[in-house]
Amino acid sequence: MADIKYYLKRVKDEIKSAFVNNKIPLFISILIFVIPLIIGYFYADQVAEYIKPMVDSFEQNVESGTVTLTTHSLFINNVSVAIIIYALSALGGILGAIILANNGLFVGFYGTKLNIVQYLALTLPHGIFEIPAIIIASTGGFVLLLFVLRFLWGLISPDMSYLDIFDPYFSDVKITLRQRFVASFNKNKSKLKESFVFLCLAVVLLIIAAFIEANLTIPIAYKILPFFGIGIR
């Protein structure tokens, strides 16, 4: 039991550290998702031509059975999106940001197809896990990109305080490429770890979201919506 508590505390501390040390990438990811979401909802007519093909494709995939409302299918689908966003965010940021923004636009636009109460009942139960997971995955990708950039800079301009051979009395110490690599990695490895913490957290949240969406969202909606005189389409 003591070991479990120790590891849980370690996990909690690592997650807390990742969020504390990466507030700017997290804030940027939130904005990239939320702003298009607001645009998609309040300016649906203006973005309809752009976003409607995505909505139609999603609905066709559900109808054809390509995307089924099972825990496994939803988890695979959502994790695939999260990993794509994570990878593309790390590979330059722009493509990952576009996919994240499209997801926000999709969520906002899709909300206009339903009564607001119906929409919230059908999205909130799993959405409170799924949406943060996508944002966190994107944040992890941005942090990984930050690690790569800092690591490469460390190769060009090494911080000798991370080298065991450094002697402060001499300024002409020659270091090899391998030593530059080790010094740069040691200096920036915390960012690499934090990036993976974000990705793992996103996957855990998506497991929860997939289970809720497949097994609880519709039953909850059936219980809640009659109080508002609304049925499920």
In this structure, which amino acid lies at residue 43? Y
Cβ-contact 207, 133 below 8 angstroms: no
Instruction: Tell me the average pLDDT across 121-144.
Output: 94
Query: 75 Cβ partners below 8 Å, 6+ apart?
Result: 206, 207, 210, 211
- The runs of H, that is alpha helices, within 43-159 are 44-64, 71-90, 94-111, 116-156
Q: How do the domains of the chain map onto residue ranges?
A: 24-165+172-228
State how far the Cα of 205 lies from the Cα of 79, in Å rounded to an integer. Answer: 10
C-alpha span between 198 and 207 (Å, rounded): 14
Average pLDDT, the chain: 86
State the average pLDDT over residues 123-142.
95
For 207-228, the pLDDT digits (tens) are: 999 999 989 998 988 888 888 7
What pTM value is reported for the model?
0.87
Across 57-61, 157-161, 183-187, the highest mean pLDDT is recorded for 183-187
- Give the amino acid at 142: F
Residue 132 has pLDDT above 90, yes or no: yes
User: Do 188 and 157 touch, CB atoms closer than 8 A?
Assistant: no
Q: Is the pLDDT of residue 171 over 60?
A: no
Degrees to nearest 5, angle at CA 37 with 31 and 42: 125
CA distances from 127 to 176, 212, 220 (A): 50, 9, 13
Encoding tokens for residue 94?
A: 């722009």
| Mean pLDDT of the 35-58 span | 88
